Amino acid sequence: MVKFTVIGGSASSDLAKKIARKLKAPYIKTEKKTFPDGESKITINQIPKKSIVLVVQSTYPPVDTNLLELISIVSKIQKFSSKVYAIIPYMGYARQDREFLGGEIVTIGVVGRLLKASGVKKILTVDMHSKLALKELNISSENVSAMGELVKYFQKMGLKDPLVVSPDLGGKDRAQAFANLLKTDFIALKKHRDRKTGKVNILSGKVEVKNRDLILVDDMISTGGSIVKATQFLKKQKCKRVFVACTHALLVNEAAKKIKSAGVSQIVSTNTIPGDSAKVDVSKVISDALK
């Protein structure tokens, strides 16, 4: 009897195949057709055998389309399995985890309710933006970290005495974990984001970065605003090279270009979101958590 069956959604099919191989689980492919009006039609060509079914689908842009695809697959599959787990390597809406300004909706809670209603019994995600977001999902859920895999990549680069930097205080624990594994030190900058315009500013004063290679560690890059501002700030303080390690590289609105222009030597991210910078594979951390 098979323990798991893996189904890959269109946003994460390569990663889903890798997870299936690591779990020695059958893999079921889905097909997606997009109609001229933007609606998508999802087809699952095979019925899973009795097993825990893992539906793997990140919800990066187009966020709502990818989310609806995940919900649609789960709604169909829960007819054949009483245990359907959603493996959401990148969880969109995780930053909407509280009411920052009056009247805002905590959308990650809405996502949780939708997933639960569709038949999801458990969620597994990678480097979720905040503990609060995980709580707001209000379903049995597990968060695994890709920091160890990212560190392995940087160990191979052999940087001499790099300093790990978090672009904000919220990412301090993540940067500390990264620095501990890399056996080096870390600092966290103080960042301010205007909740209305989204504009970012670094509020920190002088930091000891002169002549050191730096690794900016973050959970995600969206517009690149945080990384650009942090890099400009650090370059002014005469650091050497700046590298970026992040789990989820959305890189919207030409963020990669802007980050390079600010002086970043390399962006290293994971395959929770496919792309040029996705050099690190998270299939092992995901499958290990499921075994």
Just list the catalytic residues: 191
User: Does residue 168 belong to the site contacting ligand R5P (CB under 6 A)?
Assistant: yes
Cβ atoms of 74 and 111 within 8 Å: the answer is no
Residue 222 lies near ligand R5P (rule: CB under 6 A):
yes
Find how far residue 153's CA is from the centre of its chain: 17
As measured in angstroms, the least distance from the Cβ of 151 to ligand R5P is: 18
Shorter beta-carbon distance to ligand R5P: residue 43 or 198: 198
97: contact with ligand R5P by CB under 6 A? no
Looking at the Cβ atoms of 16 and 273, the one nearer to ligand R5P is 273
Residue 287 tokens read as: 């499958």
Residue 171 within binding range of ligand R5P, rule CB under 6 A: yes
Tell me which of 223, 240, 263, 275 binds ligand R5P, using CB under 6 A. Answer: 223
- Cα dihedral sign, 32-127-78-83: positive
By CB under 6 A, name the one of 145, 226, 270, 271 that touches ligand R5P.
Answer: 226
Nearer to ligand R5P, 270 or 283 (CB): 270
Shortest Å, Cβ 261 to ligand R5P: 15
Omega into 26 within 30° of 0, i.e. cis?
A: no
Q: Least separation, in Å, of the C-beta of 118 and ligand R5P?
A: 27
221 lies in the binding site for ligand R5P (CB under 6 A): yes
Cα separation, 289 vs 183, in Å, equals: 25
- For position 162 contacting ligand R5P by CB under 6 A, the verdict is no
| Binding flag, residue 146, ligand R5P (CB under 6 A) | no
Q: Does 273 bind ligand R5P (CB under 6 A)?
A: no
With contacts defined by CB under 6 A, name the span among 3-11, 77-85, 165-173, 182-190 that binds ligand R5P. Answer: 165-173
Q: How far is the CB of 246 from ligand R5P (least distance, A)?
A: 8
Instruction: In angstroms, give the least distance from the CB of 257 to ligand R5P.
Output: 13
Q: Does position 224 bind ligand R5P by CB under 6 A?
A: yes
| 76-95 residues near ligand R5P, rule: CB under 6 A | 95
- C-beta of 223 vs 237, nearer to ligand R5P: 223
Three-state secondary structure of the chain: CCCEEEEECCCCHHHHHHHHHHHCCCEEEEEEEECCCCCEEEEECCCCCCCEEEEECCCCCCHHHHHHHHHHHHHHHCCCCCCEEEEECCCCCCCCCCCCCCCCCCHHHHHHHHHHHHCCCEEEEECCCCHHHHHHHCCCEEEECCHHHHHHHHHHHCCCCCEEEECCHHHHHHHHHHHHHHCCCEEECCEEECCCCCCEEECCCCCCCCCCCEEEEEEEECCCHHHHHHHHHHHHCCCCCEEEEEEEECCCCCHHHHHHHHCEEEEEEECCCCCCCEEECCHHHHHHHHC
Q: Please say which residue, 173 or 288, places its beta carbon nearer to ligand R5P.
A: 173
When asked if residue 59 is in the footprint of ligand R5P (CB under 6 A), the reply is: no
Residues engaged in binding ligand R5P (CB under 6 A)? 95, 167-168, 170-171, 200, 218-226
